[in-house]
Chain A
Amino acid sequence: EKTKTNFFEQLSKAVVGKNTVDEAVLDDLETLLVHADVGIDTTVKVIDRIEARVARDKYVNTSELDRILREEIVALLEDNKSGSTAVLDRAGSTGQPYVIMVVGVNGVGKTTTIGKLAHRFHSAGKTVVLGAADTFRAAAVDQLIIWGQRVGVPVVSHGMNTDPASVAYDAVQKGVEMGADVVIIDTAGRLHNKVNLMNELSKIKRVMQKVIPDAPHEVLLVLDGSTGQNAFLQAKEFTKATEVTALAITKLDGTARGGVVIGISDQFNIPVRYIGVGEKMTDLQLFDRHTFVNSLFKK
């Protein structure tokens, strides 16, 4: 593994004072980005942009180059304008619960992220209701109920093998009755290439709108940070079925870098809202573009 300094030293040697970037160095940059799961298309895009800037600015020195590279990648990441603090502020301010529907493929960390989010809102003094609409996976309801107990928030459930849409409906209804600030709906993991299961998600979404017409206010797609290029297809299909509004990337406490979200954010204009960094309820952080890009180059 090349160190960061080594990499930038090499990169700069090949560019500084020149107006083209030499092939070998671009190959190194390609290696670095691809290793972080950034993917070939996005990597090529970054390289093209750097070449264009080097050609235009003519003289580039080492620190400039470092800055340019980071800037170019940060620019690909959708600005998290609304930010999660804004979500926190908004929650409850309209007199109606702020409804978050959580979706994603199997095992990415949806239920755990919901536990963490519930803790986050609850700690900020918001009232939270959870909806156990994963009625399929073995003991999924129990898992969410345990999270509800940990955090100290109510969980609406109809038990296993019941209609998920009707659980979601009741959870939103309960949120309204209680005057809750936030309602978070857990859904069963599903692979995005399964048409029936994707249609079921659209249905869950529609049913909630019978209670609150503009619900869900957030559709949070959870992506496993160690996922490779398949995450693109996940983003595409879940967006088609549910109009995803934000992303959460989990398991970034491991060695995976989650670079695939750069291309996803760029292509679908969906901001990354949260990152998961562990299994405890406090292991959720707000996504920061600059921190994320820096971590791509660490080690």
Chain B
Amino acid sequence: MFDNLSTKLDRAIKTLKGQGSISEINVAATIKEIRRALVDADVNYKVAKDVTDKIKEAAMGRDVLTAVSPGQLMVKIVYDELTALMGGEKQDITIKGDPAVILLSGLQGSGKTTFAGKLASFVKKQNRTVLLVACDVYRPAAIDQLKVLGEQIGVEVYSEVENKNPVEISRNAIEYAKKNNKKVVIIDTAGRLAVDEQMMREIEDVKAAINPSETLFVVDSMTGQDAVNTAKTFNDRLNFDGVVLTKLDGDSRGGAALSIRAVVEKPIKFISTGEKMDALDLFYPDRMAQRILGMGDVISLVERA
């Protein structure tokens, strides 16, 4: 889509050439171009404005190297800023307590149930005993879905077919885990909209009842401008500890990731990259920055120069 960004940037700061450094006047058009490129990668509009202000500040007065074009230099500056904004370093989840409880939340279809299976498999590989809990009492066949995944990875699934109360189910599941020596409990919940007051209260109640050591917000990487509103509301209600970004095996730029990070200031902890149970990765800010920008070649070029 915007693979010609560096060409555009070159054109936008044409006047810069021969001047030797970046200044207020020659950078204005470039900044607008960058803002548009970010928005096209689904970075929230307001976040894109803030980011480009920072970029402008960082670029001001920088000397233009002869080995690279001004546009390429700008791309590198943008990349560095994006990486910094996404938190710099990777962060792990907290697995604490007896049992340790992990609560999943998010919009409909974001990939919670699939991620629940992946995380269970990930934890199991660390030689911990795991229990998956089916607290989605609404979606047709939600329990079956989790059970199929549990079977695939060899992890037990706790469910109560007749019980429609997620607070009770999750409480009972923890009792069950204690009795059956399960050290980690992962709770799958129904998808819900941030504007659905009743459903948001439900998950608040679940959280209050079980006191998880880690609450995660699972979000589809293809999400557009709305990602920010949603993440903000979920964070206000749940004060979650981290974000899981799903469906990154697609070709979305994933600008929502940057926006969420910028708005709720919570780290992205995992990325989900497929439908199979092993398609789970830790999150690396630099790789994500590169993806949002879509210009890996230019960045390494400038790094070498």
Q: B-contacting residues of A (Cβ < 8 Å)?
A: 31, 34-37, 39-40, 105-109, 115, 136-140, 142-143, 145-147, 150, 191-194, 224, 226-231, 233, 251, 253-257, 260, 279
Contacts and interface: CB of A to CB of B under 8 A. Distances in A.
B21 to A, nearest CB: 27
Given A37-B224, A139-B144, A224 B109 contact: yes
B129 interface: no
Interface string B238-254: 00000000010111110
Nearest to B151: A138
A69 B290 CA distance: 36
Looking at B148, B193, B195, B222, which has the most chain A CB atoms within 10 Å of its CB? B222
A265 to B, nearest CB: 16
B36 A40 contact: yes
B256 A228 contact: yes
B32 to A, nearest CB: 10
Nearest to A146: B140
B189 interface: no
B57 interface: no
Contacts of A31: 45
A231 B252 CA distance: 9
A228 B195 contact: no
A43 B250 CA distance: 25
Contacts of A150: 140
Contacts of B227: 226, 228
Contacts of B107: 226, 251, 254
A37 B222 CA distance: 12
Interface string B25-48: 000000000001001111001000
Given A224-B220, A226-B223, A254-B194, A192 B250 contact: yes
B91 interface: no
A146 B142 CA distance: 11
Contact of B222 (A136, A140, A143, A228): A228
A142 B144 contact: yes
A192 B249 CA distance: 10
B275 interface: yes
Nearest to A141: B141
B267 interface: no
A142 B247 contact: no
B71 interface: no
A165 to B, nearest CB: 19
B45 A35 contact: yes
| Main SS class of interface, B | loop
B181 interface: no
Given A230-B251, A251-B107, 19 more contacts: A39-B40, A106-B275, A107-B108, A137-B275, A138-B144, A143-B145, A146-B140, A193-B251, A226-B220, A227-B220, A227-B223, A228-B227, A229-B1, A230-B222, A230-B250, A254-B194, A254-B230, A255-B195, A255-B226
A16 B224 CA distance: 33
Interface string B115-156: 000000000000000000000001111101111110010000
A254 B42 contact: no
Which 5 A-B residue pairings sit nearest by Cβ, starting from the closest? A228-B224, A107-B109, A228-B42, A146-B140, A138-B148
B193 to A, nearest CB: 4
8 contacts: A36-B225, A105-B250, A107-B111, A226-B224, A227-B220, A228-B225, A230-B250, A256-B226
Contacts of A279: 108, 138-139
A106 B247 contact: yes
Contacts of A228: 42, 222-225, 227, 252, 255-256
A114 B226 CA distance: 25
B166 to A, nearest CB: 16
B94 interface: no
Contacts of B36: 40
B40 A108 contact: no
A224 B142 CA distance: 20
A224 B1 CA distance: 21
A37 B224 CA distance: 6
B165 interface: no
Looking at B147, B195, B250, which has the most chain A CB atoms within 10 Å of its CB? B250
Contact of A256 (B139, B142, B152, B224): B224
B198 interface: no
Nearest to A227: B222
B110 interface: yes
Contact of A146 (B39, B141, B229): B141
Given A137-B275, A254-B195, A255-B195, A109 B225 contact: no
A138 B253 CA distance: 27
A107 B148 contact: no
A160 B295 CA distance: 41
B247 A191 contact: yes
A105 B226 contact: no
Given A229-B1, A230-B42, A142 B141 contact: yes
Looking at A40, A145, A230, A231, which has the most chain B CB atoms within 10 Å of its CB? A230
A147 B222 contact: no
Contacts of A224: 109, 220, 222
